[in-house]
């Protein structure tokens, strides 16, 4: 453990050193594990920075509220802006490049703020583990010169979680989350109504005690993903009935359970682009 601890300490010190080279910085903040750790590091590094959360229908209200609460606990100014990717037909068409179109819109907005207010750089929480999945949004990072210090220094998700725990951050064991649009298969048009259905369905499952989960939407069918250890809980008679009734109430006609269990990025399977 000592050797691993030394490695973590070394990576953390390198991160602080890297952040100090940036000058005034805008942090794209989602409230999740990665961006909260980066926020902590920016504060520890003594960097002057502005925290911005871009909100749209693809972000559940609960996630926005968590982001607000996290910032409030740290007594840091927090700016929330309305993201405009839902005005982009390329985004709504939900091709395999959807994430790129979303990031392009957001970086356009943050770049304008940075330029107008004298901030030298934009940073985000992209990390080493993100390379393991298809992430077309990273191309937009390069276009707008968004810096990803965690990825630069080969800091992966497990290391971020452990460092967050060591630093006393409450987000260290927060379930991984991605925008609600990732629940809709490529090629199916994204609508605000569909995202609201998904948001309501996932809220119900969390209220029933499920932690790491996804509700994928295939036309009128909901496919539920939970951790393998919780699959048996889904089919307990009382819980099963509450899920069926609840998901039908929000608009699903058919409810299915993915017996493989939760896996982030599952809809990227079969793509030949990565």
- Regarding whether 247 and 162 lie in a shared domain, the answer is no
CB 186 within 8 A of CB 96: yes
Query: Which of 173, 199, 234 delimits the end of a domain?
Result: 173
- Regarding whether 77 and 154 lie in a shared domain, the answer is yes
Split into its structural domains, the chain has a count of 2
CA distance 194 to 217: 8
CB 54 within 8 A of CB 32: no
- Regarding whether 167 and 149 lie in a shared domain, the answer is yes
Q: Which residue has the tokens 């100014």?
A: 77
- Regarding whether 140 and 15 lie in a shared domain, the answer is yes
CATH of the domain at 223: 3.30.70
Give residue 274's pLDDT: 47
Mean pLDDT by 10 residues, the chain (274 residues): 82 97 96 96 96 96 92 89 96 97 97 97 96 90 96 97 95 93 97 98 97 96 98 97 98 98 89 60
- Regarding whether 192 and 234 lie in a shared domain, the answer is yes
Q: Which domain holds residue 204?
A: 180-268
CA distance 38 to 18: 12
Q: Point out which residues pair with 39 in neighbouring strands.
A: none
Q: Classify 154 in phi/psi space as left (phi over 0), alpha (psi -120 to 50) or beta.
A: left
Give residue 73's pLDDT: 83
- Regarding whether 117 and 198 lie in a shared domain, the answer is no
CATH of the domain at 128: 3.40.50.620
Give residue 132's pLDDT: 85
- Regarding whether 194 and 117 lie in a shared domain, the answer is no
Give residue 3's pLDDT: 78
- The answer to whether position 273 is within a domain reads no
Give the sign of the dihedral formed by CA 73, CA 34, CA 162, CA 264: positive
């Amino acid at each position: 453990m000592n050797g691993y601890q030394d490695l973590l300490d070394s990576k953390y010190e390198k991160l602080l050193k890297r952040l100090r080279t940036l000058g005034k910085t805008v942090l794209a903040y989602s409230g999740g594990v990665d961006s909260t750790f980066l926020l902590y590091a920016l504060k520890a590094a003594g960097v002057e920075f502005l925290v911005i959360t871009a909100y749209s229908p693809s972000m559940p209200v609960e996630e926005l509220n968590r982001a607000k609460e996290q910032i409030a606990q740290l007594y840091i100014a927090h700016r929330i802006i309305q993201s405009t990717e839902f005005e982009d037909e390329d985004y709504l068409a939900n091709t395999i490049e959807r994430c790129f179109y979303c990031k392009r819109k957001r970086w356009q907005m943050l770049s304008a703020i940075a330029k107008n207010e004298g901030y030298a750089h934009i940073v985000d929480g992209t990390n080493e583990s993100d390379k393991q999945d298809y992430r077309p949004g990273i191309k937009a990072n390069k276009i707008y010169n968004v810096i990803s210090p965690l990825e630069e220094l080969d800091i992966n998700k497990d290391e971020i979680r452990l460092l967050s725990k060591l630093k006393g951050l409450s987000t260290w064991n927060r379930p991984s989350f991605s925008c609600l649009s990732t629940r809709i298969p490529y090629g199916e048009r994204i609508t605000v109504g569909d995202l609201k259905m998904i948001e309501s369905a996932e809220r119900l499952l969390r209220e029933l005690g499920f932690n790491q989960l996804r509700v994928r939407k295939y036309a009128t069918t909901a496919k539920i993903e939970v951790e393998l250890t919780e699959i048996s809980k889904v089919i307990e008679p009382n819980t099963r009935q509450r899920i069926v009734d609840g998901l039908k109430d929000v608009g699903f006609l058919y409810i299915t359970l993915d017996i493989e269990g939760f896996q982030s990025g599952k809809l990227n399977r079969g793509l030949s682009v990565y």
